[in-house]
């Protein structure tokens, strides 16, 4: 709640009988007569595909050990700099099996 006179945020503090909203800027006070409760359901944010269409023009390579999920021996790959400039680029892979497996992973350094 906000103060109707100076528009500052009201704080909740103890009063002689119960609690009250009080303004820290002006002398405005408002007695709290009943319990105030507001619940807001949590809406989970949609997870964005941060790699997007990065694999659209990616090269294909043989993967040692194959795809970690399905074992397919080939994957598309590309490298991007996600850490500081003095660190090596991170290489991302996506299984080349097609619609059956689109598992994406990054190279362990």
Query: Is 23 marked as a binding-site residue?
Result: yes
Q: Which of 49, 101, 46, 51 is nearest to 77 (CA)?
A: 51
Q: Which of 89, 101, 94 is nearest to 57 (CA)?
A: 94
Judge whether residue 8 has pLDDT over 90. Answer: yes
Query: Is 26 marked as a binding-site residue?
Result: yes
Q: Please state, rounded to an integer, the average pLDDT across all residues of the chain.
A: 87
Query: Is 40 marked as a binding-site residue?
Result: no
Q: What is the pLDDT of residues 53-77, one digit of tens each?
A: 777 778 889 998 899 999 999 999 8
Judge whether residue 22 has pLDDT over 80. Answer: yes
| CB 51 within 8 Å of CB 104 | yes
pTM of the model: 0.51
CATH numbers and ranges of domains, the chain: 1-38 (2.20.25), 59-106 (2.20.25.10)
pLDDT band at 52, cuts 50/70/90? Answer: low
Q: What strand order describes the sheet that includes 104-106?
A: 59-62, 74-80, 90-95, 104-106
Query: Is 37 marked as a binding-site residue?
Result: no
**69 C-beta neighbours (distance < 10 Å), count:** 13
DSSP the chain: -B-TTT-PBEEEEE-SSSEEEEESSSS-EEE--S---------PPPPP-TTTTTTTT-EEEE-TT--TTT--SEEEEEEE--S-TTSPPEEEEEETTBTTB--EEE---
Judge whether residue 9 has pLDDT over 90. Answer: yes
Judge whether residue 21 has pLDDT over 90. Answer: yes
Query: Is 53 marked as a binding-site residue?
Result: no
Query: Is 90 marked as a binding-site residue?
Result: no
């Amino acid at each position: 709640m906000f103060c109707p006179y100076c528009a500052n945020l009201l704080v909740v503090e103890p009063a002689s009988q119960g609690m009250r909203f009080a303004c820290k800027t002006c002398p405005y006070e408002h007695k709290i007569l009943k319990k105030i409760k507001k619940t807001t359901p949590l809406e989970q944010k949609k997870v964005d595909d941060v790699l997007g269409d990065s694999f659209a023009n990616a090269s294909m390579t043989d993967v040692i050990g194959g795809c970690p999920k399905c074992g397919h021996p080939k994957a598309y790959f590309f490298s991007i700099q996600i850490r500081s400039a003095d660190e090596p680029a991170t290489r991302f892979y996506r299984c080349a099996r097609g619609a059956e497996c689109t598992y994406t992973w990054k190279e362990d350094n």
